[in-house]
Structures are given as structure tokens and as C-alpha cells.
Homo-oligomer: A and B are copies of this chain.
């Protein structure tokens, strides 16, 4: 009988606490499935005092990550400290020490995936990162293994629970962004510094990993144009509804013949599309494949216990591979590093779409002609239009849906329109995803 698999955890926050709880509660089940016990023998966190509501044996919790990294008896290191500085160093050290790694750190992998996955491969160790995208939804393993014999055309979805929670609440209960965000923060559903979530950075990190997995390529986080939800207003939500759409924050990637289109932004989704119903903290990822066609994966994309299930699932897989002597059985991205394609990233300006536009205009004759003129000169035609009295006296709110246009044409039209004397402030533009 082989000995237990020994695990060390670095970062004892919310998810770490969930992992401790789950490993404890389902210890026997995990032992039965893996074949040997999975023992969490050490936890390092700078805060060794806080009561996290879980009881640990004496000596397990330490203040120094070195006590995990330098312990040759530890087989697997779980990195849940976050960030891309120390976390990168610790992960690379663990790999070098022939330890396997489990992480939920999408920022780390989006920025340093090349380096880390390369190191994993050279060392012949394993890395599990199911928890980094979609919480407990097993989308990583699905793309890396189950759907590995198919080719994927596109993937898109809702990959940030915080923004989806805020947009759902704004849609279902009203309230403007700032107020709903403040409530979410008070309820612990948004971070004190929410910018990674509400500015779309987190979604872009996740999209980077999904693109690499789905298209078997290298992809740079810096190439994802991302826009958050700070500018979404109740007006936009109401107009979206009137046009038959729900307002969602999407991550989208499409594989074109000449490269990859990837983007993160608020979008209007037809109310009858399944994504329109994905509310609250739920995440959902749709994969469009050649043979399988469309498949969708839905579940809680964040939270202590849902995310912990993904960490524990990875631990079990790696423990199992250790036991059977087949570490490195599957490459981190499904394909050996040397086989990853180098695909071009298409510039955002080339993306084709239909758009929603909202603007404030002085209520006087001839202004509409100027606006439609600007659109026409950019080659954009209007599919439908609504005009409503604006809150500000003497001006009207103009809302339009365009026919298909490139982002470049749209930007040109918007900048021309914003220069018109009668137009007040910025034009709000939201992409309509008619053909998901």
C-alpha cells in the first residue's frame, strides 16, 4: 500500500478554507476514489491568528511559505495566495522541487502561462487549474480532454460572477451601478477593490486561458480588449428589454481563418438565448464545435465551496496520477507546448457586429439628420430607433440599433457624432450579440 499523498496549501483565505472543509468532510470518499488518503499537512498564510471556523491539528498552520516549499515530504502545493509576483515565484519553485501544483490563479496563468506551463512540462510534474475559470464548472478538463478530438469555432459566456450578480440585480431589482456595487460589497459579493471584476480584467484573464485550451494555441492576455460594466445604466437595461435583449457581461472568442477575435464587454443578448437566463453569481460557458456543435456548461463561478470542489477535483486527479506513476499524462493545455499553434490575434477594430447606441441631443430640428449623416458616412445603417424626452429639459434621448458594422466604422461614426454641437456628452455604445 502506497503512502498518503501529502499536500501543502499556500494562502488560507476563503477558497483555502473551503478546501480544508471539503478535504475534511469528504476524506473517506476521497480516499476510496483515489486509493490513498489525501492529507493536507501544512498551510502557510501570513495571518496565522484569524479564526476561519475550521479546526487544524497543531503545527499545521504556519506563517512562512518556505515551510511548504522546502518540505521534501510535500507532494502537491496548492497556491491560493493570488497575485502574480510572489505566487509566480512560489509556483516555479514548487515545480522545480518536483512538486505538483494546484492553483485557482487565473491572473498568474494569463500573464505567465508560457513560463509556468513550460516549466511544468520540463519537470514532468502536473498542474491543475480547474478552479481558475468558472469556479466549480469543469470547463478546463472538458476543453483539455473530453472535447480534445473535436475542433472549436467559438466560445463565449459569462465568466465573472461579480459582474453578473450586479447586472442581474440592476435588471431585476433596479438601482444604478454604484449603489448595487456598494450593496454587493456590503454583502461580501464584491471585493473592497472591485476593479479586476467590474472592469473586465478578471474575465479577460479567464478568456485567455479558455482561448489557449479551446484553440490549442498561445494567446496573450494583453491582446484581449476588455471593457467593464461601470458605464451600464438603468436606461440601457430598460432599452435593452424594450428591444428584446438582456444586458450581460460577456467574454467572447471566435476562431477565424486568419486568427482569433477575442473580447470582453457588456453586450445585449436575445432574451430567448439561454445565456440571458444565467443570473446572479452563475457562470455559463458556451463552446461551439465542429462535430459536437453547441454545448453549454453552467454553475456557480465563484464562492468558497463551489471553487473548493474544483481544487479538490484537481488534487484527486493528480494524486491518482502519482499513484499510477503517470504524472504528465496530459499536457497543461492539452497539447505539448511545442505543438501549440501561433495564431494571429485580430485587431478589435476588425470585429463585425450590430450595436446599440444611446445619446443625448438638443431637441431642435435638423439634428437627427446630422447624426444619421455621420452614421451614413461611416457606412452604418440604422435598424431601428427610439426617441424619448430626456431628464434634462430641452434635450431628447436617442436610442438606435445599427445593422452590421465593423468596430472601426462604428468608432469613426461615434467620434463624428460626439463632435456635433447638439450632442451632449458621450455616446454609449453596447454591442448586440444577435448570432450567439
**Residues in A lying within 8 Å of B, measured CB to CB:** 18, 22-23, 26, 29-30, 32-33, 35, 130, 135-138, 141-142, 145-151, 216, 272, 274, 277, 289-300, 305-306, 308-310, 312-313, 315-317, 320-321, 324-326, 328-331, 334-336, 339
CA distance A290 to B312 in the complex (A): 14
Cβ contacts under 8 Å, A330 to chain B: 320
* Of the residues B149, B297, B312, B324, contact of A149 by C-beta under 8 Å: B312
29 residue pairs bridging A and B, Cβ less than 8 Å apart: A29-B216, A130-B146, A135-B292, A137-B295, A138-B146, A141-B145, A142-B142, A145-B313, A145-B317, A147-B313, A149-B313, A149-B315, A150-B312, A272-B277, A274-B274, A274-B277, A291-B305, A291-B308, A292-B299, A292-B306, A292-B309, A293-B299, A293-B300, A293-B305, A293-B306, A295-B297, A296-B297, A320-B329, A324-B326
* Of the residues B291, B313, B325, contact of A326 by C-beta under 8 Å: B325
* Of the residues B32, B290, B298, contact of A296 by C-beta under 8 Å: B298
Cβ contacts under 8 Å, A292 to chain B: 135-136, 299-300, 305-306, 309
CB distance from A79 to the nearest CB of B (A): 18
Cβ contacts under 8 Å, A312 to chain B: 149-150
* Of the residues B33, B295, B339, contact of A148 by C-beta under 8 Å: B33
* Of the residues B18, B277, B316, B329, contact of A321 by C-beta under 8 Å: B329
Interface of A is mostly: mixed
CA distance A145 to B144 in the complex (A): 14
Residue of B nearest to A323 (CB): B329
Residue contact B316 to A149, C-beta cutoff 8 Å: yes
* Of the residues B141, B289, B336, contact of A146 by C-beta under 8 Å: B141
Residue of B nearest to A330 (CB): B320
Cβ contacts under 8 Å, A145 to chain B: 141, 313, 316-317
Residue from A146, A296, A298, A300 whose CB has the most chain B CB atoms within 10 Å: A146
Residue contact B22 to A313, C-beta cutoff 8 Å: no
CB distance from A295 to the nearest CB of B (A): 3
Residue of B nearest to A134 (CB): B295
With A148-B33, A326-B321 already in contact, the answer to whether A136 and B22 are too (CB < 8 A) is no
CA distance A18 to B292 in the complex (A): 11
Residue contact B291 to A274, C-beta cutoff 8 Å: no
Residue contact A22 to B150, C-beta cutoff 8 Å: yes
* Of the residues B26, B146, B315, B331, contact of A313 by C-beta under 8 Å: B146
CB distance from A329 to the nearest CB of B (A): 5
* Of the residues B26, B33, B334, contact of A335 by C-beta under 8 Å: B33
With A313-B146, A315-B149, A329-B326 already in contact, the answer to whether A291 and B29 are too (CB < 8 A) is no
Residue contact B291 to A151, C-beta cutoff 8 Å: no
CA distance A130 to B295 in the complex (A): 15
Cβ contacts under 8 Å, A29 to chain B: 149, 151, 216
Residue contact A291 to B277, C-beta cutoff 8 Å: no
Residue contact A30 to B142, C-beta cutoff 8 Å: no
